[in-house]
Structure 1
């Protein structure tokens, strides 16, 4: 198990919740002494300056959203740890060849840099935030390794380019070699293939729903998981739109009824945009069932500002990682069910699925049921109906396939 192997580094930056508590001029957190000790003990010239500039970079981007902070933190942190522990260099000294070596590294990270699953970066103990010894910079994925897929690699290049541009503007880095390295990257695939949304089949979705309901019946604690899964699929939500995060805490009265008796859910999505998602009558049964499990009666009233998905202690709402972990447990149970019933290919596909597939599944099934595309677009929060069409209908490719089918050999 790679989780138990000795990793020479530690996580450098805490979650957005803790990171944003630091003042702009506070380099290290007083409750994370191990991070300061790790950086100051490195035999790397300018390691402290590397950390200071990266912290300032992340502070700048943490103002946008938690998701933006998480995105840049992960890639900047990996680069820092690699530069210090593998190359024995400051990031300010990295050049084109170094970046090419770094890409080779992330495409095949060593076992002691890869965890079997996601672990918290820091653990609370006696008022301190201590590095979790199980945390690793990479996590195993469906392929059985920590290597990045094409989309993640594209994102890495984009994030590193923004990072180096920031360092240049601060007169810390001499240049930005990312674009040249990306241009010559042997791992990137120029994909002009038709993009199909990653979604669950009818069998996979029904198995997931059925097993989640059985879990809830066997133990009421799983009523929360059933509600989350029903919400992600039926309301076509991103996980972040159900989670407690900076500037947004989902509460019960985000469900609201208009004067005609229609129910809606107020979501706070990408780009800090609010939208109202339409709700089916069938979904209301799951909402009412979930509220009953929480000891609440009926559907939400306008003055019900209780937490939508509270932690077990009831004092805070669940964050994205916690919600994702709950859904992944239900996915695993459904995979086992499909395997036992002999649907081996469906089980393998579901094992590789992510929670975001539920959003795609909900949208795809509604389009297949001939719901007006503009209504699906509004619920998804897409800025353009073209985006929805390309993802779930792709009328241009349908016409292309139709015209091709008429030609004879």
Structure 2
């Protein structure tokens, strides 16, 4: 059973960590957010008179028994406690400088904020942190807390989001990673996807629908517009038995993308489960990727497919958070349909596929464009020099 998040109420908090009675006899209303300086002047759209109640309202958006809930509650509670105990102000009075201080604090907390043992929250030995947070964990805290603050603003509980400025300032200083999923992240995502429930017919259809979509994106390196425009009739078999996807891409440029046997297997299962024949017929007008309620000639918009991909990636990121695989969760949380294209082409290069083949798969006009996906090119060059170039050929030292 999930432990309820404690209210910031001096009369009810257990010793020693929640010992708010030490705070110079400050009235509870000055600490609980009843009169926070960032409170909205409009009538809130949630029933919340103080910061604890507002955070609980936000958390009610999530299943109380889920990993996501526990991860989000943990970050909210840490911030709430830090605001009251360290800054001596309610969460709803925090300004941008406070958030700057908070993230520095997480990287180097005082000893009384750290508990080396895993103990229950009610224990006198409990503390909000198990260790100073790594940069990836702090980045994740920013993401979660920013989402909470945006929600509280939209709920008209807060007047504004001071954390937004922190994110903007930092984004110009931090070099963004290459926009693709490393193989370990992709394998984590696919393994997580395979754990989706399939007890009912609807669950089976939903799961297979998402698996087919990500298989399609990964195997073909397709653009979002390619998927949105495609029909089942665009999949064609040549005289030698090979299957191809005929696309009309950027600048009305036509192309043929190979459909591997593995991908064709996913398409067959997708069709059969939705009452279609295993293989498409020439000229078939049914959308290649259709809505969850069944086959239709209606082609989904770019935005619908984009949201489907990003929403699924965010769910996987939440699971990675729970497993404390924050590098993976950070990638998944930023990922999009175009990331899938970069991921497909990068993995093809890393697997040793000929760059001319990758160029054809990507439908690039120039090899120079394709070469940017050779992320391991310099490492390979260094390894080959290490292994092959020796001053003394007899013993390579």
- Taking structure 2 as the reference length, the TM-score comes to 0.49
Higher-Rg structure is: 2
